[in-house]
Amino acid sequence: MIVGERKPFAEITELIKDSKKVLILGCGTCVSVCMAGGMKEVSILASQLRMDSGIQDKGMEFGEDTIQRQCDREYIEPIIELAKSHDVVVSMACGAGVQLLSDMLVPTPVLPAVNTSFIGICEEEGTWLERCRGCGNCLLGETGGICPVARCAKNLFNGPCGGSVNGICEVSPNTPCAWQLVYDRLKALDKLETLEEIQPIRDWSPSSNGIPRGVFREDMAGIGKESESASE
Amino acid sequence: MKAGTNLEKVLEDGQFAVTAEVGPPKGASDRVVIKKAEIVKACSDAINVTDNQTAVVRMSSAAGSILLKQMGADPVMQMTCRDRNRIAIQSDILGAVALGIGNILAISGDHHSLGNHPGAKGVFDIDSMQLIQSMKMLRDDHKFICGDDVSGDVPLFIGAVESAFSDPVEFRVTRLAKKVKAGADFIQTQGVFDVEQFATWMKGVTDRGLDEQTHILAGIIPMKSAGMARYMRDYVSGVYVPDELVKRMENAEDAKEEGLKITLEIIDQLEDVDGVHGIHIMAVGWEDIVPVIVEKAGLLPRPIV
Ligand code: SF4
Ligand code: SF4
């Protein structure tokens, strides 16, 4: 899932300081699961903002709603009217949700209340960890299912640097060395010989060369419309 | 000869090589580089110039290497993968060679989060293994990474590092083998304090015949104080300082004297380890001790080849 973290309260109040009628809009998917921007977090933020407005006599009004997914037009359409009846919408979705919402609500401004952090997992209650950087060229098959792009601080592809000690990465005592993990995993899978091969220089163009990426599938193009007309 | 540098000649001649290190200043003074280099020049075969070591911004290793070259020393230009992408890396290599630098040493680089610009964006486009490979491609195949032709020759004597004591220890010989396969002509290791354990690693190296395909220079870090010994034991990854040596430093009346004594003992033992072709002395901020070490270790005068 996409993991995010709610922005500090002061930053949010600063963002909306010129508005009177604010809609706080949550997202029911990733950020809901990682407890940053779901229905519960919307209600907490709205009460905090109401209290703050009351104490400081700001006279602001706050509406609350949460939709299934802010990264999907289908779910945004039904709330367009509601959203536009506010001065501003504070989105608690990831950056993708905020952007689609902004596109669809012009001229109503949409402001982010969540910092989108990474693609990751919930390791245990209260701990989320990064697992993938969407590099567009997955090599987990060669590394025993442990990602050196997201998990090795130096993006090494040919085994651990000298900073790996007792399974810990040199960058911080809380970060396991990805290559120690790869080594242990490949050993367990009886595939250590994989590590003898030099991993060639990577083509980063499917990843982070700066050009916005898209996935375009001819086989899927227009399918939604077809089924719509079929059901008509 | 691949690049015909002094270091290459000494090693190919089968001599026990000595390299030293100069860290460029946090400023633009050429004098600082020249002064440090003057101390170690006569007692070493080549001098490493570090590349923004510990991710702290300093004068570039290329500029430092050129200053060394101008004073007649043989520089080993260190190059990290932290700050440059493949375009800058290859371009800097060509520029360095054009200016007479023949030894270039590939390293991953200390992580920028630990340096003085922790907010920097790390590059890490290629890793140190791949950097070794690219240098070999430039030199032997006259090709850039993309496959385009390089015009003219790119004479290089390619260096790399290895850390015998980092984890997973069982993998460290394999990693060296990969570096040799990638094209490393010489290897400088992380500082050695436990010669016995180092010899175990070297046994793995010689068993695979790697010492015949590359030159291994064992790292030497002279200890100045008990505090330094403890710091290296506790905080410097890849350096393993046995407690017994820390104790010796703590109990010594003259810590510097004891540090020198320990260094000389280590060098003496290393000379007997099969496959070790030299030493690389890293005396960060204590350059004065280098000539003393080399002299007392009986490694003077340095060969003229
Ligand atoms: S290799 Fe790329 S796609 Fe695969 S997990 Fe890592 S970042 Fe994600
Ligand atoms: S210690 Fe391990 S995870 Fe950290 S940078 Fe080195 S190889 Fe990567």
CA-to-CA separations, B271 to A93, B102, B195, B245, in angstroms, rounded: 63, 26, 10, 20
Q: Is the distance from CB of B229 to CB of B223 less than 8 angstroms?
A: yes
C-alpha count within 13 angstroms, C-beta hemisphere, residue A1: 21
B256 vs A: CB within 8 A:
no
What is the per-residue pLDDT for A229?
A: 57
pLDDT per residue as tens digits for the range B262-284: 999 999 999 999 999 999 999 98
B285 vs A: CB within 8 A:
no
Query: Phi and psi of B52, rounded to 5°?
Result: 45, 55
- Cβ of A132 less than 6 Å from ligand 2: no
* Ligand closest in space to the Cα of A167: 2
What is the per-residue pLDDT for A100?
A: 98
Percent of chain B at pLDDT above 70?
Answer: 100
Yes or no, beta carbons of A198 and B129 under 8 Å apart? yes
> In angstroms, rounded to a whole number, what is the distance separating the alpha carbons of residues B20 and B282?
6
For the cut 90, the answer to whether the pLDDT of residue B237 exceeds it is: no
> In angstroms, rounded to a whole number, what is the distance separating the alpha carbons of residues A109 and A84?
9
Q: Which residue of B has its CA nearest to A186?
A: B171
- Cβ of A147 less than 6 Å from ligand 1: yes
> In angstroms, rounded to a whole number, what is the distance separating the alpha carbons of residues B37 and B69?
10
CA-to-CA separations, A197 to A98, A142, A147, B174, B215, in angstroms, rounded: 43, 10, 17, 10, 22
Q: What is the mean pLDDT of chain B?
A: 97
- Cβ of A150 less than 6 Å from ligand 1: yes
Global pTM exceeds 0.90:
yes
pLDDT per residue as tens digits for the range B152-202: 999 999 999 999 999 999 999 999 999 999 999 999 999 999 999 999 999
What is the per-residue pLDDT for A171?
A: 93
First to last CA, chain B: 13
Can you read off the two tokens belonging to residue A185?
A: 């995993």
**A199 Cα: distance to centroid of ligand 1 (angstroms):** 15
B114 vs A: CB within 8 A:
yes
Can you read off the two tokens belonging to residue B105?
A: 């040493």
- Cβ of A23 less than 6 Å from ligand 2: no
Mutation for A interface: B54, B90, B169, B175, most A CBs within 10 A: B175
For the cut 70, the answer to whether the pLDDT of residue B86 exceeds it is: yes
Chains A, B: CB contacts within 8 A come to 101
Of A159, A166, A171, the CB nearest to B175: A159
* Ligand closest in space to the Cα of A206: 1
- Low-confidence spans in chain A with pLDDT less than 70: 208, 224-232
Closest protein CA for atom 3 of ligand 1: A138
Question: Could you tell which of A149, A155, A158, A169 is best to mutate to test the pocket of ligand 2, judged by most ligand atoms within 8 Å of the CB?
Answer: A169
**A178 Cα: distance to centroid of ligand 1 (angstroms):** 13
Nearest CA distance, B12 vs chain A (angstrom)? 27
Yes or no, beta carbons of B127 and A158 under 8 Å apart? yes
Percent of chain B at pLDDT above 90?
Answer: 98
Q: Which residue of A has its CA nearest to B145?
A: A201
**What is A2-118's CATH topology?**
Rossmann fold (3.40.50)
A199 vs B: CB within 8 A:
yes
> Residues B11-33: what's their mean pLDDT?
98
What are the start and end residues of each CATH 3.40.50.2300 domain in chain A? 2-118
In a 10 Å sphere around its CB, with 0-12 CB exposed, 13-18 middle and 19+ buried, how is residue B13 labelled?
exposed
A118 beta partners: A3
**A134 Cα: distance to centroid of ligand 1 (angstroms):** 5
Yes or no, beta carbons of A196 and B178 under 8 Å apart? yes
- What is the residue-wise DSSP string for B181-209? HHT-SEEEEEE-S-HHHHHHHHHHHHHTT
- Cβ of A132 less than 6 Å from ligand 1: yes
> In angstroms, rounded to a whole number, what is the distance separating the alpha carbons of residues B96 and B79?
11
Sign, Cα dihedral of B206, B210, B216, B220: negative
Question: Could you tell which of A129, A171, A175, A183 is best to mutate to test the pocket of ligand 2, judged by most ligand atoms within 8 Å of the CB?
Answer: A171
> Residues B22-50: what's their mean pLDDT?
98
Q: Which residue of A has its CA nearest to B180?
A: A198
C-alpha dihedral (B165, B168, B173, B174), degrees to nearest 10: -150
pLDDT per residue as tens digits for the range B214-231: 999 999 999 999 999 999
B236 vs A: CB within 8 A:
no
The C-alpha angle B112, B118, B122, rounded to 5 degrees, equals 45
Q: Among residues 187-226 of chain B, which lie with CB inside 8 Å of chain A? A: 190
Q: Which residue of B has its CA nearest to A154?
A: B124
Residue showing tokens 């793995």: B204
β-strands B157-162, B186-191: how paired?
Answer: parallel
What is the per-residue pLDDT for B262?
A: 98
